[in-house]
Amino acid sequence: PPTSRATRTKPNILITGTPGTGKTTLAGLVTSALPDYQLLEVGKVVAQRNLHCGRDESFDTLILDEDLLLDEMELILGGDDAGGRGVEPQHAARGGSGGWVVDYHSSDLFPERWFDMVIVLRSSTSILNDRLVMRSYSEKKISENIMCEIMDVSFNEALEAYHPSRVLSLPSDSIEEMSDNVSRVVEWAEAWEQSMST
Ligand code: ADP
Ligand code: MN
């Protein structure tokens, strides 16, 4: 049976937000600060394991095969039978016990039971624009992403998919905010572990 949050000893944390808001940076810093936690960069898994059905040329992005991705992630995050195909050994050993820091620009495709906390990063549009220009995104891709940020797409998506008490929106314009966010997530995770062990 799928593992529920009640059987986890460590929380699973989803970090979401518009591309460029700092998800991968935050997820990396959090996993460094919490040595027993592991980073799962969903975009990387999709590309490396071919969990897509080709490329959308006009947006220069891979077209996600959602079913393949969810099956793969269930083995890593949710299941207790992760010894099988394609799962890296360190992932297999960890199946279902929690401690995953997952980084993805979307959140509503995942089962709610996988995550104990959902962080939505927010950046102001001029800062986000500069970051995406630095990344050499096309103008079309930049304006699409800026529009999503202005319309709070990531935040609304998270609020619809998860209980609002698990969704936390955090500003990510500056290094100071990034560092506050790391502390906040780390403290929250440690408190979660404490509450589960008592
Ligand atoms: P994402 O994974 O959400 O696309 P990244 O973590 O790759 O975002 O960050 C995009 C760029 O913006 C990187 O160069 C990163 O260093 C920078 N960046 C992200 N968040 C912040 C922040 N809070 N303050 C300063 N720079 C940031
Ligand atoms: Mn990223």
38 touches ligand 1 (CB under 6 Å): no
121, two tokens = 């990063």
pLDDT in tens, 5-24: 667 899 999 999 999 999 99
177 touches ligand 1 (CB under 6 Å): yes
Interface confidence, given as ipTM, is 0.99
Residue nearest to atom 27 of ligand 1 (CA): 22
Distance of CA 20 from the midpoint of ligand 2 (Å): 7
What letter represents residue 74's amino acid? E
Is residue 110 a contact partner of residue 12, using CB atoms and an 8 Å limit? Answer: no
Distance of CA 42 from the midpoint of ligand 2 (Å): 9
19 touches ligand 1 (CB under 6 Å): yes
Determine the pLDDT at residue 7.
Answer: 75
Confidence of residue 164 (pLDDT cuts 50, 70, 90): very high
Confidence of residue 61 (pLDDT cuts 50, 70, 90): confident
Determine the pLDDT at residue 152.
Answer: 97
Per-position b or e across 133-164, b if 16+ CB within 10 A of its CB: eeeebeeebbebbbebbeeebbbebbbebbee
Is residue 27 a contact partner of residue 39, using CB atoms and an 8 Å limit? Answer: yes
Taking the domains of the chain in order of start, what are their residue ranges?
Answer: 8-45+98-197
Give 8-45+98-197's CATH code, choosing from 3.40.50.300, 3.30.70.1250, 3.30.420.10, 2.20.25.240: 3.40.50.300
31 touches ligand 1 (CB under 6 Å): no
Q: Which ligand 1 atom minimizes the distance to the CA of 174?
A: 24
95, two tokens = 């199946």
In angstroms, what CA-CA distances link 92 with 30, 84, 149? 21, 8, 35
